[in-house]
Amino acid sequence: MIALVDCNSFYATCEQVFRPDLWGTPVVVLSNNDGCVIAANKEAKAISEISMFEPVFKIKKQLIANKVTLFSSNYTLYGEMSQRVMNILSTFSPQVEIYSIDEAFVDVSGMKYRSLNNLGHQIKDRIYQYTGLPVGVGIAPTKVLAKLANKISKKKVSENKGVFVIDSEEKRIEALKWADVKTVWGIGSKHAKRLKNIGIFTAYEFTQLPEEWIRKNMSVVGVRIWNELKGIPSIEFKTMPKPKQGIGTAKSFGKKLEDLGMIQEACSYYISEVSEVLRSQNSCATYLQIFLHTNYFSDRDKQYSNSITVTLSIPTSDTFTLISEAKKALNAIYKPGYRFKKVGVCLSGIIPKEYVQGNLFAPPHYNNNKLMSVFDTINQKYGKSTLFSGLVGTRVKEWELIKEDRSPRYTTQWGELLEVTSVRF
DNA sequence: TCTGGGGTCCTAGGACCC
DNA sequence: TCTGGGGTCCTAGGACCC
C-alpha cells in the first residue's frame, strides 16, 4: 500500500504559519516578478475572480476589495518547510519518494497498525503538530490510486477529514466512478479532450476501454495509468532521486532590457546558478543551450526570439568556462533594437564527472576542478555569491526579479527570525 | 518478379507533472 | 506598465553501424 501525502495550498499556508493574524483570511502567493497568482488558500480560492495563473494586474481591484494578503514567493522558506515535512514522513517509513516540493509517496505496505485509516490520521496530525501545515493523505495499492484517494480526502472534507483509504474493490470502483477522467494523474487536457470525444467521462469508463485503444492513442504511459487504476502497480517507486538530466533556469527580467551588457550579466548569473547545481551532483554537461526572447504578450513591441545550442569541447561543470561559452553563444543570437524580457540557460547531456572523456585539443583549465571546489566551499560557508565571476557584474542588477512583498526567511536567516511582540489571550 | 537483418544514437516534438 | 519556472518520459524518423 502506498500513501500520498500532499500539503494543502502549500505556499500560502507556509506564509500563514508565521502570520497567525492571517488565519481564516484570504492569502495568495505570486510568481517571480509578482506576475501571476501561483498559490491561494481556500479562503482566496472561494473568491471567484481569483484563479491560478491569473495575472495580478488584471485582478488587482478584486484583491484589494476582498482584503486579500499578497506575498511574493519565498522559495527559501518553502524549501525549508518542505524538508521538515519530508523528515517527519521518514519517521513513518524508510521508503519515501519525494515527488515535489509539497508531496511525497510513502510505502506503507506491511505496516502493523490497527488500520491504515488510523495511520493516515497519525501522519496528518503529526505534520500539523510539528509544522503547522495541514495535509491530505490518500492510501491505495498503486500510485495513481493513491493520488486519487488523496484528491477525495480533500474534496469530501467533512466526510473524510483529510484521509481516504482505498482498500477494497468496492471503494476502488466507487472512487473511479466519482473521478472525472481529467483529474486522473497523468491524463492531461489533450488526452481528456480526446477521451470526451469518444464518450469517456469518468475514470471508471476509462478503465473499461480496450488496452489496444489506450496503447495506440496514449502510448505505454496511458497503459500504465490504465493498469494502475485497476490496482496493478505499474509505475516504479523511486526512493533515490535520479541525477538530473537537464538543469536550466530562465527568469523574466524585472524590467525589459535592450542592452547586451545587462543581458550578459543576467546570463552569467544564471550560468553560475546552474553550474553550481551541476557540481553538487558531481556531473558535467556536454551541451549548453541559450535562448533569448521579447515579451510575447505585447502587441506593441517588435518580437524576436532565438536559441542556440553549443556542444562543449569537453563536458564541463566549470563556471568560468561555461560563462565564456555562454557569452559567445549569446552574442550570436542577440540583435539590437528589441526590448528583451527573458534570457535562459540550460545544461544537458549530463554525465558523471568520472566519465568525462579528455580532448587533446581542448584549451588548458577547461575544467578547473580544484578552483571550483574552493569556490563552492567558500560560498557554502559564507553564503551564496560571496565569490562570483566578474562577468556577473557589480552594478545594480536591472534584470533582477521584483519581489515587493516577500516575507522574512524566518527559518534560515538569524536576522529574520519571527518576533513575538504581543500576545493576546 | 525478385533487392537482408539486427541494431544504436540522436533530435524534435508532444504530453504531462508540480 | 504589468502575464512563472523547472522538470520527466515517450515516440517517430533520420543517420549510422556491422
From residue A61, how far is each of A25, A46, A68, A107 by CA, in Å? 17, 16, 10, 46
Nucleotide nearest to A6 (CA to C1'): B18
Report the C-alpha gap between A13 and A280 in whole angstroms: 30
Regarding pTM above 0.85, the answer is yes
Task: Give pLDDT tens digits for A213-257.
Answer: 999 899 999 999 999 999 999 998 988 877 788 899 998 998 899
**pLDDT at residue A267 in the model:** 93
Confirm whether A325 is a catalytic residue: no
Nucleotide nearest to A244 (CA to C1'): C7
Gyration radius of chain A's alpha carbons:
24
- Are the C-beta atoms of residues A368 and A319 closer than 8 Å to each other? no
Q: Which parts of chain A register pLDDT below 70?
A: 112-113, 157-158, 422-425
Helix, strand, coil in percent for chain A, rounding step 5: 45, 20, 35
Domain ranges of chain A: 1-147, 168-241, 247-394
- How far does the CA of A218 sit from the C1' of C14, in Å? 24
Which residues sit opposite A308 in a β-bridge?
A: A290
In this structure, is the CB of residue A135 within 7 Å of any atom belonging to strand B?
A: no
Report the C-alpha gap between A36 and A402 in whole angstroms: 12
In this structure, is the CB of residue A276 within 7 Å of any atom belonging to strand B?
A: no
Task: Give pLDDT tens digits for A375-400.
Answer: 999 998 888 889 999 989 888 788 88
**pLDDT at residue A183 in the model:** 94
Q: What are phi and psi of A99, to 5 degrees?
A: -90, -35
In this structure, is the CB of residue A188 within 7 Å of any atom belonging to strand B?
A: yes
Sole residue written with cell 510505502? A107
- How far does the CA of A313 sit from the C1' of C17, in Å? 24
In this structure, is the CB of residue A242 within 7 Å of any atom belonging to strand C?
A: yes
Question: How many CB atoms within 10 Å of residue A407?
Answer: 17
State which nucleotides on strand B lie below 7 Å from a protein beta carbon: 11-12, 14-18
**pLDDT at residue A425 in the model:** 61
Class of domain A1-147: alpha beta
In this structure, is the CB of residue A187 within 7 Å of any atom belonging to strand B?
A: yes
Residues 6 or more apart whose Cβ sits within 8 Å of residue A329: A288, A290, A308, A310
- How far does the CA of A218 sit from the C1' of C12, in Å? 14
Q: Which residue is nearest to nucleotide C2 (CA to C1')?
A: A57
Class of domain A168-241: mainly alpha
Nearest residue to A102 via CA among A122, A121, A78? A78
Report the C-alpha gap between A86 and A13 in whole angstroms: 16
**pLDDT at residue A158 in the model:** 67
Nearest residue to A29 via CA among A84, A85, A80, A70? A70
- Are the C-beta atoms of residues A307 and A333 closer than 8 Å to each other? yes
**pLDDT at residue A198 in the model:** 93
Catalytic residue among A15, A43, A97, A103: A103
Class of domain A247-394: alpha beta
- How far does the CA of A207 sit from the C1' of C12, in Å? 27
